[in-house]
Chain A
Amino acid sequence: MNDDELITILRDQRDKVPMNTPVEQIISRGRAVRARRRVPVVAGALGAAAAVAFAVSAAPPASHPVSGPRAQLAAWTVARQADGSIRVTIRELRDPAGLQRTLRADDVPASVTFTDRRNPACHDYLGGGSQSQPRSLLSSVATPSAGGRDAMVIHPSALPSGAGLQIDALFQHYPGPRGSLQVGVGLVQASPQCTGS
């Protein structure tokens, strides 16, 4: 038996151990991986109808902003706080473009989507070329808000040069009428096509 024959025998074994996991199961697990990478700012369980009710009863932020909320819409609120951080509250998955514009106007390079598909122009920020995103860095840029389960606080000064934020939110349906609003944030490479600058 020469090397070529041996290699053929070995390679013949490759397809004899089938991988049976459905791709849908892999993708579902991938969503969990993405969620682990993000700073979770998950709202509590909400009824689908209750989300609409929140839209007409939007409360001001619990903290005391310097100059009042910059934008206070039914679906979400953006407010700059005394320390320069920005509190974002998302209550309803509506007008992501408006939230994106508001954040960019507050000098936060951001891409906002309310679907499970991010802006295709956005690419993960790799923090100097490593394969994984530095979680400690992400945690210093965006943190869940202590004052509300549906809010997060962004610290623009902690954003490294060349990085921006990808904010996405989904309504996770549970069996039956209930579900929860899932909001996540990740670091992406800043670019005009992705984060506006």
Chain B
Amino acid sequence: MGTQRLDFADFYREAKNECLFAVLVSVGDRDTAQDLVDEAFARAWASWRTVSRHPAPAAWVVRTALNTSISRWRRRRREVPVPDLALVADRPAADGGADSSVDPRIMAALLRLPARQRQVVALRLFLDLDTAGTAEVLGIAPGTVQAHLGRAMAALRGDLIPTRQEESQ
């Protein structure tokens, strides 16, 4: 086993779950997210000399997965209507799949966010990127990242707090 493979295997083991969750939050379907992340990690392996020097390789994987998702959607768009993620959020598949113990209400609340807010949440909160790094990955201004994150947090708080208060009663 070569050094390259060892390094990649370490990265994969440490980053795979957070990458999958970040992409799942963005696309809303476990099977789709899994395939996109598989493909993105495969591309990372194929370009490992470059990706391993990236300041945030996990962000590279997530962005590659999301770009792949957009490319696939563009190829299919004449044939398949794009699902409304707010509706997808209420489907059982959106809970992360059969082997998942994710809280379905939290996942549904995340999927009700607008797409850009979901991407910001995925990168800032689930990949632990800072504002500048998130802005760079998404190609938007740092101030825009902060604005999206602020709106997302407000929406999530509004969505989840009543649920949590009901639970405690």
Contacts and interface: CB of A to CB of B under 8 A. Distances in A.
Contacts of B44: 30
A16 B19 contact: no
B9 A1 contact: no
Interface in B14-35: 16-21, 24, 30, 34
Nearest to A13: B102
Of residues A3, A10, A126, which shows the largest number of chain B Cβ atoms within 10 Å of its Cβ?
A: A10
A13 B38 contact: no
Interface size range of chain B in the complex: 35 or more
Contacts, number: 109
Interface stretch (B74-82, B83-91, B152-160): B152-160
A19 B45 contact: no
B47 interface: yes
Given A10-B156, A32-B42, A33-B46, A27 B17 contact: no
Contacts of A37: 46
Interface in A21-58: 21, 23, 25-27, 29-34, 37
A108 B34 CA distance: 41
Contacts of B49: 120, 122-124
Contact residues of B: prevailing secondary structure = helix
Nearest to A8: B125
Interface residues of A, number: 34
A15 interface: yes
B41 A117 contact: no
A14 B21 contact: yes
Contact of A3 (B20, B121, B126, B153): B153
Contacts of B41: 21, 26, 29-30
A7 interface: yes
Nearest to B33: A17
A21 B31 CA distance: 12
B34 A19 contact: yes
Given A17-B100, A18-B17, A21-B34, A6 B160 contact: yes
CB-based closest 5 A-B pairs: A30-B45, A29-B42, A17-B96, A33-B46, A19-B16
Interface of A: 1, 3, 6-7, 9-11, 13-21, 23, 25-27, 29-34, 37, 117, 120, 122-124, 126, 131
19 contacts: A1-B160, A6-B156, A10-B110, A10-B121, A11-B125, A13-B103, A13-B106, A17-B21, A18-B100, A19-B16, A19-B20, A20-B99, A21-B41, A26-B12, A26-B38, A29-B39, A30-B43, A30-B44, A117-B2
